[in-house]
Structure 1
């Protein structure tokens, strides 16, 4: 197994970290607030460690588990420390009133984040269509990924499979626009038509 670095210490970081630790990987938790990183690492146990914010992450796969509003700043804080890393963007750039997405027309949160990473880093969109508490429950869930680099996409697919998830490749990073719209739809469905947040998208291949 390998080391997976998670930037962030909120509910999604905890949900993903729990799944990663259970799969036997080593989790490195990094946060602007070292106390929050330490608390999450202690909660995860299983040998979870903490890293220094802005320093080179221990893992070759780095999960950016911060709100979209903080993503660009986090990437800028790390700068060249992310060179050569595969960066998983889990954000849903939704407006506070849930009226739509806050990204520029024709772009996505993942594409905007990708503009700030070093040339040797690769951004992969994943996890944004799975609610954290559903992920934390366990079970085989479908996970959609979008990326331009085939090798990065393959590595993330293998990683997702190790977590007991079923990865589905939806195309290049421009497809993150569709995945983020799908994330917004999931929130709308939970708040309105489904009446519950205990839901997940599943592909039926018949």
Structure 2
């Protein structure tokens, strides 16, 4: 099983660390600063941004606005890794719009900032953290939708998801990340308004 470095120690970073642990992967969590709070349970290999990345898979579990600062440290060291973008670029001042370009996505924008040929996979953004930790969305195994342009990278992400006991569904090339971000936006808004529970989520039934 792959090793995984998670940049960001908030709720989603902690949830994905739990997923990776169930899958049998070695987990490294990097906080943005030594004083950052962590939602992850004790016992993971922890450090701060700037430390060497030990994972073959690298999850960016920080807001998209933090990406430039992360890339200052790691851009040239990411070329041979699989980068997983989980961000949902919501305008949290209004909860009424996505902030990514109308014809693009954070994943597509990230790919343009990385060395040419770096594999970016959009995944986990349609999942609330509670459904990743439990592995269910209340009625069935949690479904993780993912998109990307590199088949080998997608196979590795799917293997991580499935080894953690969840369902992995390939929705197509990285251009589909725009639709995934719209789905993530809708799910977060519905939960924030009390229309759904944070322990539930969208499901694809067999």
Q: With structure 1 as the length reference, what TM-score do the two structures score?
A: 0.89
Deviation of residue 78 (structure 1)?
1.0
Deviation track 1:65-106 (CA, whole Å, cap 9, x = no partner) reads: 001211233123312111200000000001111111001120
> 2-side partners of 1:185 and 1:52: how far apart?
32
Structure 1 unaligned runs (5+)? none
SS at match of 1:187: helix
Deviations 1:171-205 (A, max 9, x none): 11110000000001112222347243232111123
**1:102 pairs with one of 99, 108, 119:** 99
Change (3 A) 1:122 1:152: same
Question: Residues 68-107 of structure 1 correspond to what in structure 2 (within 5 A)?
Answer: 68-96=64-92, 97-107=94-104
C-alpha separation between the residues in 2 aligned to 1:174 and 1:35?
36
Q: Is residue 79 of structure 2 the alignment partner of residue 114 of structure 1?
A: no
Question: 3-state SS of the aligned residue for 1:115?
Answer: helix
Alignment of 1:1-206 (within 5 A): 1-36=1-36, 43-45=41-43, 48-51=44-47, 53-96=49-92, 97-139=94-136, 140-192=141-193, 194-205=195-206
What secondary structure is seen at the aligned counterpart in 2 of 1:145? strand
List runs of 5+ in structure 2 lacking aligned partners.
none
Please report how far the alpha carbon of residue 35 of structure 1 lies from its aligned counterpart in structure 2 after TM superposition. 4.6
For residues 157 and 70 of structure 2, the distance between their equivalents in structure 1, rounded to whole angstroms, comes to 21
Aligned residues of 1:21 and 1:44 also touching (Cα < 8 A): no
Asked whether the equivalents of residues 72 and 113 of structure 1 are also in contact (C-alpha less than 8 Å), the reply is no
Deviations 1:8-54 (A, max 9, x none): 111111111122123322111112213548x667x242xx2124523
SS at match of 1:6: strand
Cα pair 2:2 2:160 within 8 Å, conserved: no
- Select between 95-104 and 115-124 the one with higher mean Cα deviation: 115-124
* Stretches of 4+ aligned residues off by more than 6 angstroms: none
What is the alpha-carbon distance in structure 2 between the residues aligned to residue 8 and residue 170 of structure 1?
A: 26
Secondary structure class of the residue paired with 2:18: helix
Alignment RMSD: 2.0
Cα distance in 2, alignment partners of residues 145 and 19 from structure 1: 15
Q: SS of the residue aligned with 2:113?
A: coil
Higher relative contact order (CA 8 A, sep 6+): 2
